[in-house]
Amino acid sequence: MTDPLPEPPLAEWPLFGLADDVRPALRQARNAGQACVLATLIAVEGGGPRPEGTQMVFAPGIVSGYFSGGCVEGDVAGHAWACLADGEPRTLVYGEGSPWPDIRLLCGARIEIVLERVPAEDLALSELLAAEDERRPVTWVSDGWARVCAAEVSPWAEATVLRRYEPRPRLVIVGGDPTALAIAELGVRSGFETTLVRPKGPVTPPPVAGVAYRRDEPAEALAVVGLDPWTAVAVATHDLDTDREVLRAALPSDAGYVGLLGARRRLEGRLEELRAEGMPEAAIARLHAPIGLDIGGKAPFEVAVSVIGELVALRYAPEGSRDNGSTSTTDPASAAGA
């Protein structure tokens, strides 16, 4: 096997570490017909900065993810290029017991990382990316040489990598004012597949990179986007009729989160309208209103921070165990999606 050309050092400003989901990088390598190295954090002792299951991807011209934010990434990259050249999986240890005592984790943690070379035509990779397209959860199991990706997988004795992939979180914002735009922009930056719905809105899409745009009526737009347990709906229209239409469609759906922007003093009257229309109490109880965490701010990006903060808190909340300051009508953990 011919050794590849030496890869340049990692960028001084690690923008590659802003990506938490490595599937786009895996897809980029696959589409280019390139093998890549998938690095997976399999063990953390002593409170490391990233949890088990965190991953990075390395391929010619591609780096995505991060493990520590220190000097570890540069060393992992060197081993990744060697793994890409010879195909040999590697297990790297940093911290206590590491063969590289000069590479220190400032937090005092010990971490283990497995590197595996994944060819572009790998069947497990194809299934992982197909599941992402079809919004199916799957599990990746690997021993560094052989790997399987499926809805249900039984790890074998030699397997060291076990990584569950959920569908990418989606966020649908209904509205068109500065607050709705701020929620959309922060949603994209936070990794949500984001759609802004503004019924009868301008033909020109919003000037927010990465945001999909729909001008149709809310019920039709939500039906086209599709509401599954990994989809959140943020209602921010300031129009009572539009709000009701959105809630009629979203609350009885499989959406993992439905939030409503508006004053608390008017909330009970709006809920009574839904009850009068026959909306089940169980559906109404799913509503997060007023939307977002109660952080006190009312400026557009302050509201956006509260909304995205609540969505992230719900994603990681153990059921029944978190009090995250939500102003929702229900216990946040009880509505924490799939």
Domain chopping of the chain, boundaries: 15-165, 170-335
What's the rounded Cα separation, in Å, for the pair 96 and 104? 9
Instruction: Write down the pTM of the prediction.
Output: 0.88
What pLDDT tens digit does each residue of the chain (338 aa) get? 445 545 667 888 889 999 899 999 999 999 999 999 999 999 998 877 899 999 999 999 999 999 987 778 999 999 999 999 999 999 999 987 777 776 777 667 889 999 999 999 999 999 999 999 999 999 999 999 999 999 999 999 999 999 999 999 999 999 999 999 999 999 999 999 999 999 999 999 999 999 999 999 999 999 999 999 999 999 999 888 999 999 999 999 999 999 999 888 888 888 999 999 999 999 999 999 999 999 999 999 999 999 999 999 999 887 544 344 444 544 433 443 33
Residue 233's DSSP bridge partners are: 172, 258
What's the rounded Cα separation, in Å, for the pair 312 and 298? 19
What's the rounded Cα separation, in Å, for the pair 152 and 235? 35
What is the crossing angle of helices 267-276 and 240-250, to 10°? 60
User: At the topology level of CATH, where does 170-335 sit?
Assistant: Rossmann fold (3.40.50)
What's the rounded Cα separation, in Å, for the pair 142 and 225? 34
Cα dihedral value 308, 69, 93, 40, nearest 10: 40
Number of H helices, E strands in the chain: 9, 14
What's the rounded Cα separation, in Å, for the pair 258 and 335? 9
The bridge status of strand 170-174 relative to strand 138-142 is: unpaired
